[in-house]
Every structure is written in structure tokens, then in C-alpha cells.
Amino acid sequence: MLAEVGVTWYTWLEQGREVNPSESVLVGVANALQCSPLETRHLFVLAGLTPPESTQITVCEGISAGTRRMLDSLMPQPASIQKPNFDIVAWNESFCRLMGVDFATIPDDDRNCIYLYLTNETWRSRIENRDVLPTFVSYFRAAMAEHRGDPGVGK
């Protein structure tokens, strides 16, 4: 038993029965599945439990002057800072050139990688891998699971 969970529990889970896993069970399942910290966090959120401290996400509401200097110092490499929901918080000029858009002219509410992929032809044309959207959406859903009531998530 890799996750230290009995066959009966898995059977009930597969049958859709209401199971209330403990924190130790979720940790065992996450370890057995080799979940990343973000995936482990999502597992806990789905189970209605508080995620472990080691999976906490820091959300950036703005950037400091030092962070701005760091972004600018990365020139000519493109760089951006994004929230877990793919909102673009900050960028350097190379990132604008790479993606073919001037973020300063895009309203704050529209500066989101998924939204831009869906609505901005220039942005979409710069994404070489056309199969990236389902991956973006799955990461978005995992990161936003605990923010269901947040009005910004429904955008």
C-alpha cells in the first residue's frame, strides 16, 4: 500500500461514496502520486482541508522598486511576473516585444495570459505550441480552486 490507504477506502472513492480523508491520508496519496506542491495544495483544497504550510502560495499584488529593477536588469531576456491565475503584474520591454503587445496599453483586467490567448491574435500568433491552452486552463483551475468566491476569478 503505497499511500498507506486500504483497498476499501479506494473502492468507496471510486464508487462515489462520501469519504472524508484525513490530512495524513491526503499526504500519503499525494506522495504516492508524486504530486508537486501545487498539486498537493489542490488536493487538500478539493478535500476541504487546509493545505500544508509547505504548499502556501505567495500572491503578488504589486511589485517593489527592487523587483522592477530586477526585471529591467534581465534585458534583453524577456521576463514577466504573473499571479497564479496568469494575470500579468509586471514585465520588461523584451517581454512586450516577444509577445507583440504593449502591456501598458492593455487594461489591467485584460492582462491575463489565457484571456490574451483567446482574444488577441498577435499574442496567439506568438505561441508556437497551439496545444498550450488546455495546460494553462488546468493550471488556472488548480491555482484558483480555493478562490471560488473571488470576483476576479470569474472574469
pLDDT score of 77: 95
Residue at 23 is within a domain = yes
Total domain count for the chain? 2
Residue at 21 is within a domain = yes
The count of C-alpha atoms lying within 13 angstroms of the C-alpha of 99, restricted to the half-sphere facing its C-beta, is 21
pLDDT score of 45: 84
Residue at 99 is within a domain = yes
Q: Is the dihedral of CA 106, 109, 112, 117 positive or negative?
A: negative
Could you tell me whether strands 88-91 and 80-82 are parallel, antiparallel, or unpaired per DSSP bridges?
antiparallel
Residue at 47 is within a domain = yes
pLDDT score of 123: 92
Q: Which domain holds residue 41?
A: 7-55
Q: In what helix (H) or strand (E) does residue 54 lie, and over which residues does it extend? A: none
* pLDDT under 70: residue ranges of the chain: 1-2, 56-61, 147-155
User: How many angstroms separate the CA atoms of 119 and 107, rounded?
Assistant: 13
